[in-house]
Amino acid sequence: MKLILIFSALIGASLCLETFVGHQVLRIKTKNEEEVKQLQLLESLEHLQLDFWINPSAPALPVDVRIPAASVQSVKAFLESQGIQYSILIEDLQDVLDKERQDMIESAQRQRSTGSFDFGSYHTLEDINAELDHLASEYSFVEKIQIGESYEKRPLYVLKFSTGGSNRPAIWLDAGIHSREWVTQASALWIANKIASDYGTDESVTSLLDKMDLFLLPVANPDGFVYTHTSNRMWRKTRSKIPGSICVGVDPNRNWDAGFGGPGASNWPCSDSYHGPSANSEVEVKSVVDFIKNHGNFKAFLTLHSYSQLLMYPYGYKCTRPDDYAELESLGRAAASSIRSLYGTTFKVGTICNTIYQASGGSIDWSYDNGIKYSFAFELRDTGRYGFLLPANQILPAAKETWLGLKKIMEHVKNKSS
């Protein structure tokens, strides 16, 4: 064990990984709008370099924030002076990261000895792409297609599940648009394998693929994902260069042409929620937009995020209900019930604006406004204990319960499309 820890530290050093020694993650509970405003003020103080995992929006919702070691005491002093309650979720972020890297090394060793892919572990982009190749070679109805490439010229690979026919009604599923949300890419990979292996044996999957095609993009932001492995585990955005700024990257889930540049997106290039210079400026977003428009027959658009255990539908850029509110709310609740049936994990259901906060330029708002009625965003485990750093031993439970929710939605879409 000691040797593995030393090896892990050496690998981290060789990759020039940013360290987070002494960084703490606090959960802050506000009592009223005034305290929310105080936190929003805190958020605007750039010199503190705060990383809000859950943004301050309403008194009823908790706020999670990663605080660099140099700012911990001053932030705590500010909160205490204002009488704002907080608790420590993560005492030292680097300890959690060290454990995560150690788990990956041990899993890689096991995988080498067994020769089989470990779906219960976190993987590099290279390993994920190799597994996509394996699935495509193993199953005749699975094809790996490239729909574009990232800013740094990495392929955007999609698995197409199709049992025949041309331009059949289709379902879209993506993961990892925010690169640090590792449980999403991992879950998408398990789900891909589940769908492939269940066809012909599971009645629900078989009837779905006999009528519809499914397109799955497991790593929607490959540049950001690679960066979380090689440089900064907490990176969220793309890696595009911003004209006139020293800061890098755009929040790809603020870059869609749906209320672009509105509330809940930042026009400051250094912000984690920077919307970019224009809608679809990010090639990762534009590639998906072009693919979906060119196909022309998508009936559902589903996207995986973490964390908070939420199942949301439009809108985010405005706080009015969508035309299909009753059906989407009912279907969301049915999917949440399916999720809960496995391990008792509860998901809150509602529109983005009413469930979390107003956020413009998001993917499911774009898809809904472009005629794809069944547009849903899942926020996977957990509710804050580990946040974006969900331990690998929770990947399979998260993937399995999420699949039940996805399947419920897909069955409804299939029935409505036939």
pLDDT tens digits, one per residue of 186-198: 999 999 999 999 9
pLDDT tens for each residue of 82-112: 999 999 999 999 999 999 999 999 999 998 8
How many Å apart are CA 63 and CA 57, to the nearest integer?
A: 8
Average the pLDDT over 159-177 and give the result.
96
| Torsion 359-360-366-369 (CA) sign | positive
Q: Per-residue pLDDT for 3 more than 80?
A: no
pTM of the model: 0.95
What phi and psi, each to the nearest 5 degrees, are found at residue 386? -115, -15
Q: Per-residue pLDDT for 9 more than 50?
A: no
Amino acid 139: pLDDT: 98
Amino acid 115: pLDDT: 86
**383, 395 Cβ separation under 8 angstroms:** no
Q: Per-residue pLDDT for 2 more than 60?
A: no
Average the pLDDT over 60-86 and give the result.
96
Write out the H or E segment, with its range, that includes residue 146.
strand 142-149
Task: Read off the tokens for 112.
Answer: 């080498």
**253, 177 Cβ separation under 8 angstroms:** yes
% of the chain exceeding 70 in pLDDT: 96
Residue 5, C-beta contacts closer than 8 angstroms, at least 6 positions apart: 98, 102
Please give the mean pLDDT across all residues of the chain: 95
Amino acid 167: pLDDT: 84
pLDDT tens for each residue of 196-216: 999 999 999 999 999 999 999
Amino acid 418: pLDDT: 72
Q: Strand 155-161 and strand 51-54: pairing?
A: unpaired
Average the pLDDT over 399-414 and give the result.
98
Angle between helices 125-138 and 182-198 (to 10 degrees): 10
pLDDT tens for each residue of 316-368: 999 999 999 999 999 999 999 999 999 999 999 999 999 998 999 999 999 99
Amino acid 6: pLDDT: 45
How many Å apart are CA 139 and CA 61, to the nearest integer?
A: 44
Q: 60 falls in which pLDDT band (50, 70, 90)?
A: confident
How many Å apart are CA 234 and CA 141, to the nearest integer?
A: 36
Q: Per-residue pLDDT for 122 more than 70?
A: yes
Amino acid 15: pLDDT: 57
3-state secondary structure of 208: helix
More confident residue, 335 or 417: 335
Distance of CA 126 to the CA centre of its chain: 19
How many Å apart are CA 300 and CA 287, to the nearest integer?
A: 17
Distances (CA, A) of 102 to 17, 63, 97, 110, 235: 14, 29, 9, 13, 20
Average the pLDDT over 392-418 and give the result.
97
Amino acid 137: pLDDT: 98
| Length of the chain, in residues | 418
How many Å apart are CA 330 and CA 345, to the nearest integer?
A: 18
Task: Read off the tokens for 305.
Answer: 């995020």
Amino acid 82: pLDDT: 95
Pick from 269, 369, 261: nearest CA to 323:
369
Q: Give me the catalytic one of 35, 181, 379, 401.
A: 379
Q: 152 falls in which pLDDT band (50, 70, 90)?
A: very high
Q: Strand 155-161 and strand 142-149: pairing?
A: antiparallel
Residue 266, C-beta contacts closer than 8 angstroms, at least 6 positions apart: 251, 254, 272, 273, 274, 275
Average the pLDDT over 293-319 and give the result.
98
Amino acid 7: pLDDT: 45
Pick from 86, 208, 226: nearest CA to 150:
226
Q: Per-residue pLDDT for 171 more than 50?
A: yes
Is 379 one of the catalytic residues? yes
Q: 242 falls in which pLDDT band (50, 70, 90)?
A: very high
Work out the burial of residue 137: count CB atoms within 10 Å of its CB; fewer than 13 is exposed, 13-18 middle, 19 or more buried. Answer: exposed
